[in-house]
A and B are shown apart, each in its own frame.
Chain A
Amino acid sequence: MRASTLLLLTWLLGAPVFAVGAPQDFSGVWSIVRSPSRLTTIAGAAPPLNAAGRAIYAQRRAAAARGDRSFDETSKCLPPGLPRLMLVNQPFEILQRDKAVYFIHQLNRLPRRAYFGEQLPDDPDPLYLGFSIARWEGATLIIESAGFRAGTLLDDSGLPHSDVLHLTERYQLDAAGRALHARFTIADAKMFTHPWDFQADYVRRPGYEIPEQVCSDKQTAATGIPY
């Protein structure tokens, strides 16, 4: 009785249900509410880059100011890496299964898998999208990832990460199941003085079918489908 009252209260307040309840079904198509071009911490501060991180970031900002974005490999149709893939202004689909949760992105059809009941490998092969494991804490889906290639960007502005990036994502559905709240933790001792968090929100896109999007296809530009 008290639990249902609490649920009703959180629903009325529109707040996410924190770490209570059972696993939820996140399946469906989602779009980010606001795609950030430059990440900040939850408090709105600049990310805590260390000296090495500041040097790389300053180089990229200077290049961008000259109109040189060659540091951004997405211009060559390469994957944006993580967490940036979760921040682009394009829908993605979640397929939630017992063994894994799949994220299938509209952006160049990129797939992501996070496996339940597994550990992160000790010595992972560096990949654009890393290796991801998933677990539930109450109603919160937690995804941890490691094994990233250095060279992808954390955000459009060129915020750097290294090969030791450890990403933690915490996803919660709102009580009505229409919004997805995510909290990301960036831990990367080679680029930042300490781990830091940011948030992103997503809305459900009922009935939206993700179209075939092929980055390498220059003809796609003429069809109006972004790439």
Chain B
Amino acid sequence: MYLTHNERWAWMGAIALTTVLSIPDGVAAAPAPRTLLDSGDATLALTPPLRGATAAPPGSAPPNPDPHDLEGVWYLQGYEYLLGPEPGVPPPLKPEYMKILERRIRAKNRGTPEADAPTQCLPHGMPRLMESPYPIEIVQTPDRLTFLHEVAHNVRRIWLNRAHPAVLRPTFLGDSVGHWEGETLVVDTIGLNDRTFIDDEGSSHSTQLRTVERYRKIDGGAQLELSMTVEDPVTLEHPYSYRRVYHWRPDIRPQEYICEENNRNAPVDGVTVAK
């Protein structure tokens, strides 16, 4: 149904992007927020995107052009609250899950957002963890890539020389295995629990969620391109993909981030408290 709005979305997206690019870092754009499915219903207003990180400042250590060495600090350009196939477009949720997303967006716009994992200091889940306005440090060792996320000190381990275990206890970040296809690192993640959302707005996933991430250095290693594919036969009509870019930021050092310290957003009776 919302597919009929795609052309209009692309047009609005271009305007929004222009607006976003003309404002300082970290400031929300869009004076007139988009709404879910371009409905015009203000109770379904989407949180505007953030500009996110820019390229490393002049004088920073030059990027490492080795396509098979992803080690270093990377920082997302742009930040979307809704992680669909394109900005402002929701994931292809089945109707019953679209209704849940509408419910969550309305709760957010009433100022009483439903409690989600990060507000309880639980890991963000996938693919949401990769959509973070905080740096990600990749440590690359022979059998592994380790993603050290500044946000809430999340850790992802991507195993290069083993398959998924036959039996997996579902976890917040699942089990990730990777392999190289030419200059692209392909990361397959399963074994995720269903206690997180696909995105900040609250798109649902099940334990059948699978993400496939394809990472490739571009621009001589100054950027890391991600193609994220999301599959979930329970909540989604069909798999979908989106593209993201992370900047090489050798000038940034991940900081200590302790969610549990004086968590002002801790939920009360299932509602996130915003102080």
Seen from chain A, the residues whose Cβ lies within 8 Å of a Cβ on chain B are 27, 76-79, 95, 97, 102, 104, 108-111, 113, 127-129, 209-212, 214-217, 223
Contact = CB atoms under 8 A, between A and B. Distances in A.
Nearest to B169: A223
Contacts of B122: 214, 216-217
12 contacts: A78-B258, A95-B139, A97-B71, A97-B139, A102-B146, A108-B153, A128-B258, A209-B157, A216-B121, A216-B122, A216-B260, A217-B172
A77 B123 contact: no
B256 A128 contact: yes
A212 B123 contact: yes
Contact of A111 (B71, B155, B157, B172): B155
Interface string B167-183: 00101110000000000
Nearest to B155: A109
Contacts of A214: 122-123, 172
A176 B261 CA distance: 41
Classify the interface of chain A: helix, strand, loop or mixed: loop
Interface string B146-160: 101000011101000
Contact of A212 (B153, B171, B260, B261): B171
B261 A78 contact: yes
B155 A104 contact: yes
Given A77-B260, A109-B154, A223-B169, A102 B123 contact: no
A129 B122 CA distance: 20
Interface of B: 71, 120-123, 139, 141, 146, 148, 153-155, 157, 169, 171-173, 254, 256, 258-261
A18 to B, nearest CB: 28
A104 B146 contact: yes
A205 to B, nearest CB: 15
Contacts of B169: 223
Given A77-B260, A95-B141, A102-B146, 6 more contacts: A76-B260, A79-B258, A95-B146, A102-B139, A109-B153, A111-B153
Given A212-B173, A216-B122, A217-B122, A110 B260 contact: no
Classify the interface of chain B: helix, strand, loop or mixed: loop
Contacts of A109: 153-155
Contacts of A110: 153
A129 B139 contact: no
B230 to A, nearest CB: 20
A188 B259 CA distance: 28
A217 B169 CA distance: 15
A182 B171 CA distance: 33
B260 A102 contact: no
B266 to A, nearest CB: 9
Contacts of A223: 169
A97 B157 CA distance: 16
B154 to A, nearest CB: 7
Nearest to A225: B169
Which of A27, A210, A214, A215 neighbours the largest number of chain B CB atoms within 10 Å of its CB? Answer: A214
Contact of B148 (A77, A111, A209): A111
| Closest CB pairs A-B (n = 9) | A216-B121, A212-B171, A77-B260, A127-B256, A109-B155, A95-B139, A111-B148, A78-B260, A111-B153
B148 A102 contact: yes
